[in-house]
């Protein structure tokens, strides 16, 4: 809700990014800009972790629907890109339950920065919120018989996401909080 990166909020960054991408541009240029927008979140102490994850994110983004790279960017490409990035970051589906990257993000970046990264995606493309919820439901169902101690990482992330979703997309007026 408050200032997170310098003197601006995630909402401020998202508004500026959305204004920028309204300029007609090829899809590959949008993906480069989207990478820059997302990668500003990684203010972690470990240079090695930051560099390695940024490389993975960049490589994945470059490969996302690369057959459309020379096409003009549009809303459909935005939604598909955001959906594919959420799949990459969290979990793809119940059949492909690989979520090592997500666990690694939470372990190395922490649940707050990881939540911030996911929030940045949602702020530029609210249509993917149901997809985010679906991915969390997949993880919740996968770990439902686990002990609380074993899935503390998931509980912390769910708590942080609930707060982020409520404060950014809820109907309650929280403008009085500074």
Which tens digits make up the pLDDT trace of 107-157? 888 899 899 999 999 999 999 999 999 999 999 999 999 999 999 999 999
Radius of gyration in angstroms for the set of CA atoms belonging to the chain, rounded to a whole number? 16
pLDDT (tens digit per residue) in 5-50: 567 888 999 999 999 998 899 999 999 999 999 987 665 556 677 7
Cα–Cα distance, 156 to 29 (Å, whole number) = 35
Cα–Cα distance, 62 to 40 (Å, whole number) = 17
pLDDT over 90 percentage in the chain: 68
pLDDT on residue 50: 72
Cα–Cα distance, 42 to 79 (Å, whole number) = 23
Strand partners, 106: none
């Amino acid at each position: 809700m408050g200032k997170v990166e310098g003197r601006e909020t995630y909402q401020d960054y998202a508004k500026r990014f959305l204004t920028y991408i309204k300029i007609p541009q090829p899809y590959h240029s949008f993906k480069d800009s989207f990478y820059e927008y997302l990668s500003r979140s990684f203010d972690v102490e470990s240079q090695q972790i930051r560099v390695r994850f940024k490389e993975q994110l960049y490589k994945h983004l470059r490969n996302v629907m690369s057959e459309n790279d020379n096409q003009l960017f549009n809303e459909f490409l935005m939604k598909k890109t955001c959906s594919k990035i959420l799949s990459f970051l969290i979990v793809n589906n119940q059949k492909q339950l690989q979520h090592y990257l997500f666990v690694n993000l939470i372990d190395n970046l922490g649940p707050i920065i990881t939540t911030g990264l996911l929030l940045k995606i949602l702020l530029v493309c609210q249509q993917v919120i149901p997809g985010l919820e679906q991915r969390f439901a997949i993880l919740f169902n996968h770990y439902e018989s686990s002990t609380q101690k074993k899935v503390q990482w998931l509980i912390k992330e769910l708590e942080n996401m609930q707060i982020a979703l409520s404060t950014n997309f809820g109907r309650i007026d929280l403008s009085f909080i500074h």
